[in-house]
Homo-oligomer: A and B are copies of this chain.
Amino acid sequence: MADKYEKVLELAKRRGFLWNSFELYGGTAGFYDYGPLGAMLKRRVENIWRDIFVINEGYYEIESPTIGIEDIFIASGHVGGFSDPLTECQECHEAFRADHLIQDITDNPDTLSADEVSGLIKSNNIICPECKGALGDVYEFNLMFKTNIGPGGKRAGYLRPETAQGMFVDFPRLVKFYRDHLPFGATQIGKTYRNEISPRQGVIRLREFTQAEAEIFIDPRVKTHPGFSEVSDIKLTLFSQEGQDTGKSEIITLGEAVQKGTIAHEFLAYCIARTHQYLLRVGISPDKLRFRQHMKDEMAHYAADCWDAEILSDRFGWVETVGIADRTDYDLKAHARQSETELTVYVPYDKPKTVTRLAVKPDMGVLGPRFKGKAGKIVSALKDLKLKDLTGDFIELTIEDEKIRIEKELVDVGSVTEEIHGENIVPHVIEPSFGIDRIIYSLLEHAYFEEEVEVEGKKEPRIVLRLPPEVAPVQAAVLPLLTKEELIKPAREITESLRKKGILTAYDDSGTIGRRYRRNDEIGTPYSITIDYQTLDDCTVTIRDRDTMKQVRAPLEGIAGNIYDLLYSGSFREWC
């Protein structure tokens, strides 16, 4: 029997949600097209993300290129370390993830080097799963798609493996945009790429996919969140490090989780709350959602804490869909090093601090003529001196490998007291990172129901996608009861008026009304509007609710506004 994944994909293919890419040419693993309904669903899922993170949280979206230059990915570590171990069959030349081949032999294949994996493959006589040929040596295969920018091989380009780097590279511009006020954040929704060795999990593991990421730059000393009280009562399922040790998740409020220290701090917990709200709003079942903390050995060495939103799917079990991490100052420091640029924010103190420091004043009247072109460098070096360097009669300096000696009396040493109003700090980064494609597959699966319904006294099966009205691709269907000109005309006009209001409306006059309802149930159309002969008499139509299949008679006047309100606030404007 078909499992749910198969059923959902069959529907998704047939009705235009998801199509294998390049099917006309035989297809290629790891690529999916969003068909007409899928792309619209995706737009809506992305727009809700924008509503929460961009408009309401105020983390502006940016858009940086999908092609990046090498420096970026050297700094980020992707050139060096973004790879999977690969082994190729010596006979059929099929490539395999070497770590997958030894999954049953060792507990932690991820932690082994290529040589160690090679060794295990040989010592266990593992052969090609396809043709039983011998497997070659294991090597690390970099998962970035590589290309060249401009002619010749002079300038390497990489398709970005995450959108995040765009925000880090733009950090100096962002600091100015936000006029040096921490915390601030920037977001990006866009394509990212991962040249998988041999992807085998359908829509769950893609070579080209969409991420929505926020990089929120915060003062490392202030990891509270001013809005935390709004979300501290939210209850959700946490699967903490401790819980994983004992195999138990717990349902707990975020307030408690922070207080007990399960979640490192308020800011992270706040992001978990917004993620939770987002996922429920787009249609993820609350009982199929949990937040799992990364174990100590799976967390990046620099991360302070990291939680994944995991969504339960029928075939794949708990699937990692969102990662929410405190990445500390790792990324900014890496880019500062690589670009030789200071990446800091000036943070003023509440009260100025008074400090006393050494003031060194060289006698330029003598030093200038004596050292000419070198004098500038000598002055800088003198100003950097510490008190301990000034004890003898002479000051010793090394300028451009040359030892220089200056008489103490040529340098006036005193001290000055200054008020310091603030300091430059490297912010910490909180990063919620969403895999949009996995969310879309998951919400389709959670919305998919096969039911038996009674229609005119007879039982018949129906498939219904119980999508939240806000994400349903087709928002309303307009159905003339019969294919008669006198019904078609008002039906067309109603369709127009709904579309003018921005409501994606399908007009459908082919087949029995029952069949048209079924068709719309299957794609999750929340409301179907039927025009019949009574419409011509009294200017009313029926509005049918997808989930309950109940119909109400409603006036034609203001229908577009009323469907709009039904979609976005779940209630009719005045009547009904």
* Interface positions of A (Cβ within 8 A of B): 15-16, 19, 21-25, 28, 30-40, 42-43, 50-51, 54-56, 58, 60-69, 71-72, 86, 88, 93, 95, 141, 145-152, 155, 157, 159, 166, 169-174, 177, 179, 186, 191, 193, 195-198, 207-208, 335, 338-339, 341, 499-500, 502-505, 510
Contact = CB atoms under 8 A, between A and B. Distances in A.
B24 A339 contact: yes
A60 B61 CA distance: 25
Q: Which 9 A-B pairs have the closest CB atoms?
A: A36-B60, A34-B63, A25-B71, A16-B177, A39-B63, A33-B64, A145-B147, A95-B151, A39-B61
A417 to B, nearest CB: 30
Nearest to A475: B55
Contacts of A51: 502
B69 A42 contact: no
Nearest to A496: B56
Give the oligomeric copy count.
Answer: 2
A39 B67 CA distance: 17
A560 B313 CA distance: 40
B173 A23 contact: yes
Given A28-B69, A62-B34, A56 B170 contact: no
A170 to B, nearest CB: 6
25 contacts: A21-B64, A22-B69, A22-B169, A23-B169, A23-B172, A24-B335, A25-B338, A25-B339, A34-B62, A35-B173, A36-B62, A36-B174, A36-B177, A42-B63, A43-B61, A86-B151, A88-B151, A88-B152, A146-B147, A146-B148, A147-B147, A148-B195, A151-B197, A179-B510, A191-B191
Contact of A33 (B35, B36, B63): B63
Nearest to A504: B55
A282 to B, nearest CB: 16
A147 B159 contact: yes
B147 A186 contact: no
Given A22-B69, A24-B170, A24-B171, 8 more contacts: A16-B173, A21-B65, A25-B338, A36-B177, A55-B499, A67-B159, A146-B148, A151-B195
